Amino acid sequence: MIISASRRTDIPAYFTEWFLNRVKEGYAVVRNPMNAKQLSRISLDPELVDCIVFWTKNPVPLIPRLDELKDYCYYFQFTLTGYGKDIERNLPDKKKVLIPAFQQLADKIGPERVIWRYDPIMINNRYPLDWHYRAFEEIAGCLKGYTEKCVFSFVDDYFKIKKTLDDMGIYYPSDEEMRDMAIRIREIAGANNMKVATCAEKIDLEDLGIDHNACIDKALVERLTGGKIKDTKKNLKDAAQRNDCKCMPSKEIGCHNTCSNGCIYCYANYSPESVKKSMAKYDPKSPILCDTINPGEEVKDATDQKRLVQYDQQISMFDMLMPDRKDG
């Protein structure tokens, strides 16, 4: 199975201690956001976990402790834009902290395991198209050789953030504008040895050589593990995600209303007040993130907790010729 860590919050930035404690204990508990009475125990046993996918805007707290994940395959989705504090309110300095962190992470684990996300693209008077081109080119130049892929997307019109975006004058580009921007992004990325893909976009850009991305990526998991995932409908598409999402299924261990990055486009937080309320419950030793398991609440093992990656078990000709050979 694949562990998502996390679509709902920034675990590397704020909950490294909790996550590594969960790894030591071998499981995490998650409350279903659609049914608060449903609690699931998700195994973190390396024998069951094929890969961990991290989403983050700041992996600095986790980087020096990556050796504690030596028994796991993992990769990072690292969001890095040029926005200021009016958009991404609580992030460290991009040039002094986050770009060097991206480079350090790629040096440590390999550029194939650090995907750059330039998203969401938001356009207004302060951040017009030309600004995005300049910002993208500058960041791409800094990340050349440190990643193989950039994923971009345009801001979605979520109800809970619509008023904020309207107040900032954010407008939604036409298909023609999106295509023009995609071409420019592709050209800049290509000049820096990166491929590009879109994330959950309705617009089809495949004629431009730009695929729809899968953040939980079957091909990348197979590449990193050296195994194969059986092509079944259940394995290839996460039914819980949007129709345009190409991710394969995963087990989410994060929690809404817990990310303190303060990004105005965040869909996972209800309000700054809700984040403060959740963070007050944070206990790095708890099996559940920023929450408590109340007396009488039942925790059940999550379903479908099994290996997805299959390895070739065929006996090689060398083994057949030397049956008594011992490894070591």
Q: Is residue 25 part of a domain?
A: yes
User: Is 91 within a domain?
Assistant: yes
Residue 267, CB half-sphere, CA atoms under 13 Å: how many? 8
> Does pLDDT of 314 surpass 80?
no
Q: Is the pLDDT of residue 161 over 90?
A: no
Residue 294's contacts (CB-CB under 8 Å, 6 or more residues apart) are none
Q: Each residue of 240-285: pLDDT tens digit?
A: 666 667 788 999 999 999 999 999 999 899 889 999 999 999 999 9
Q: How far apart are CA 283 and CA 289, in angstroms?
A: 7
At residue 319, the pLDDT reads 39
Cross-strand bridge partners of residue 114: 76
Burial class (CB within 10 angstroms; exposed 0-12, middle 13-18, buried 19+) of 299: middle
User: What is the rounded CA–CA span in Å between residue 154 and residue 304?
Assistant: 33
Phi, psi of 184 (to 5 degrees): -65, -45
- Residue 180 in domain: yes
Residue 316 has pLDDT above 50, yes or no: no
- Position 59 in a domain: yes
Residue 100 has pLDDT above 70, yes or no: yes
Residue 102 DSSP code: H
Q: Could you tell me if residue 34 is left (phi over 0), alpha (psi between -120 and 50 degrees) or otherwise beta?
A: alpha
Q: Name 60's Cβ contacts closer than 8 Å, sequence gap at least 6.
A: 12, 13, 92, 97, 101
For 209-243, the DSSP string reads T-EEP-SS-HHHHHHHHS-EE---HHHH--TTS-T
Confidence bin at 191 (pLDDT 50/70/90): very high
**pTM of the predicted protein model:** 0.91
Q: How many domains does the chain have?
A: 1
List C-alpha distances in Å: 312 to 269, 316, 317. 43, 10, 14
Nearest to 153 by CA among 127, 123, 193, 117: 117
What is the rounded average pLDDT of the residues 164-192?
93
Confidence check: pLDDT of 160 > 80? no
Instruction: Name the pLDDT band for 164 (thresholds 50, 70, 90).
Output: confident
Secondary structure of 178-217 in HEC code, one letter for each residue: HHHHHHHHHHHHHHCCCEEEECCCCCCCHHHCCEECCCCC
The overall average pLDDT reported for the chain is 90
How many other C-beta atoms are found inside a 10 Å radius of the C-beta of residue 36?
10
CB atoms within 10 A of CB 202: 13
pLDDT one-digit tens code per residue, 193-243: 999 999 878 888 999 999 888 899 999 999 999 999 987 666 565 666 666
Contacts of 20 (CB under 8 A, 6+ apart): 65, 68
Q: In this structure, are residues 244 and 212 in contact, taking their beta carbons and an 8 Å threshold?
A: yes
CA angle 131–164–214, rounded 5-degree value:
65
Mean pLDDT of 27-32: 97
Task: Kindly state the percentage of the chain with pLDDT values over 70.
Answer: 91
Question: What is the Cα–Cα distance from 141 to 125, expressed in whole angstroms?
Answer: 25
- Structural domain includes residue 160: yes
In this structure, is residue 328 part of a structural domain? no
pLDDT digits (tens, 9 = 90+) for 42-78: 999 999 999 999 999 999 999 999 999 999 999 999 9
Query: Domain for residue 76, yes or no?
Result: yes
- Residue-range definition of the domain harbouring residue 107: 2-321
| CA 41/CA 64 separation, integer angstroms | 28
pLDDT for 241 equals 67
Query: Nearest Cα to 219, choosing from 235, 206, 207, 205?
Result: 235
Q: Is the peptide bond before 6 cis (omega within 30 degrees of 0)?
A: yes
Note the pLDDT of residue 199. 87
Whether 286 maps to a domain, the answer reads yes
